[in-house]
Amino acid sequence: MSEVIKLKKGFNINLAGKAATQLAEHTPETVAIKFDDFPGLYRPKILVKEGDAVKAGAPLFFDKAIEKVIYASPVSGEVVAVKRGEKRKPIEIVILCDKTTEYVEHRKFTISDIASMSAEDALNHMVGSGVWPQVVQRPYAIVADPDVAPKNIFISTFDTSPLAPDYDFLFKGQEQYFQAGIDVLRKVGKCDVHIGLNAGAEVSKVFGGVKNAKLHKFIGPHPAGNVGVQIHHIDPINKGDVVWTLHPYGVIQIGKLFMEGRYDASKTIAVVGSEVKQPQYYRTVLGANISKLVAGNLKSDHVRYISGNVLCGQKIAADGHIGFYDHMLTVIPEGDKPRFFLTDGWLAPIAKRLSFHRALGLLSFLNGSNKEYVLDTSTNGEERAFVATGTFEQVVPMDILPMHLIKAILANDYDGMEALGIYEVAEEDLALCEFIDVSKQPIQQIIREGINMMRES
């Protein structure tokens, strides 16, 4: 094991509404696969229509750019809606769940089968079964192209974002699947698998004993758990490099595919946030509808439902669905109430509200470091030109100049973007910049625009 990599830059946002370590069952009525969850999709070809019956693992659509990768149904049931937006842009496919799940059956492999099978067979098995979209490639943070060999594979086994679920709890007892997934990935990728462990916690039971992978320990404030940050410190992405990243969930799903012979989309999610009466974990399924999770479980009704964390999650409706890559539902108050400038607005001496900047939070040390904040969705100001300098650099623990990268994107400067590290970042890595920005700029949106520009160039 390599030594602990200490990251100093970053910022922990300590929100109220952490999940208690207790698990309940949640059976959703519907699940949905949302096309916006895959930012790299070129032109999806939908294979099902309303009224079709599908099994769990049956193909729903594929991307015309990478035809062999299928996107599978997480459950068995009836396709009740294929929603489209302007210009027939596909939005989501909604499936009404069966009471008992029927699976598309695949071949089962033993540990020794996995060891002896060819890389090509393993890859074909993965792309045709529905697990492949869990393999995300950098640069660009899009679903990986199975025909491009990666330089490395990276897996972060902890999440430092606000109210993040505890991965040890999330994946309890799934060690053998995780190990099988790592073995498959190593074979398919023909490269090293690097695993980022949390040095600030006890040695993880699920991830700590894994073999055939290189383990790296990280400690530091958010975003130390982001895989992009870990890649930067283990083996940074250069021009021409391609690496794969996976969430441990994806690794386990791959392991289950090979060992159990089925595309298992069940997952545990955390329902958290200051507005949730009983924040805890629920065993449910990928893309689950949230209505039953929130009904009768909220402290107020003027809230925002966020699939994912508060930094890079997405707002969903009260009857919306959890995103493909998300493992949490966060519920926080909407912040559209006016605040008078002298009493609790911009000029008031405020200690109770959270700020990275001491200009507002000079007295916030009085709150102690354990204070849990209730934050709403107010922008707390209007969009302005970039004025402050040097602050973004304090929350990005990478040798990257975020402000200059952002300006290069805004100026359509392709060479500048490339030289300043666009290949190394995804939206989530600069999400804290967006949080702390006094000019209230949409930083993550700008980063994605930059990534799209580079992909199209």
Tell me the closest approach of the beta carbon of residue 391 to other proteins, in angstroms.
8
Site string for other proteins, 34-73 (x = CB under 8 A): ----------------------------------------
156-195 residues near other proteins, rule: CB under 8 A? 162
Alpha helices per DSSP H over 190-247: 227-234
Rounded CA separation 404/329 (Å): 33
Residue 298 DSSP label: B
R_g of the chain, CA atoms, integer Å: 22
Site string for other proteins, 304-343 (x = CB under 8 A): x-x---xxxxxx--------------x-x-xxxxxxxx-x
Tell me the closest approach of the beta carbon of residue 156 to other proteins, in angstroms.
20
First to last CA, the chain: 40
Stretch that binds other proteins, among 65-73, 133-141, 233-241, 449-457 (CB under 8 A): 233-241
**Of 350, 406, 409, 426, the one binding other proteins by CB under 8 A:** 350
Residue 235 DSSP label: S
In terms of DSSP bridges, do strands 192-198 and 152-156 run parallel, antiparallel, or are they unpaired?
parallel
Q: In what order do the strands lie in the sheet with 44-46?
A: 44-46, 59-63, 66-72
Nearer to other proteins, 172 or 339 (CB): 339
379-398 residues near other proteins, rule: CB under 8 A? 379-390, 393
Q: What DSSP line would sit under 341-365, residue for residue?
A: TTTTSTTS--SSS--SSHHHHTTGG
Nearer to other proteins, 382 or 456 (CB): 382
Residue 345 contacts other proteins per CB under 8 A: yes
252-311 residues near other proteins, rule: CB under 8 A? 304, 306, 310-311
Nearer to other proteins, 254 or 272 (CB): 272
393-432 residues near other proteins, rule: CB under 8 A? 393, 399-401, 403-404, 419-421, 427, 431
**Of 173, 240, 296, 368, the one binding other proteins by CB under 8 A:** 240
Place of tokens 């009525």: 29
Q: Is 245 in contact with 138 (CB distance < 8 Å)?
A: yes
With a CB cutoff of 8 Å and minimum separation 6, the contacts of 134 are 246, 247, 249, 250, 251, 253, 254
**Of 13, 135, 188, 286, the one binding other proteins by CB under 8 A:** 13
Distance of CA 145 to the CA centre of its chain: 19
In this structure, the chain runs to a length of: 457
Tell me the closest approach of the beta carbon of residue 241 to other proteins, in angstroms.
8
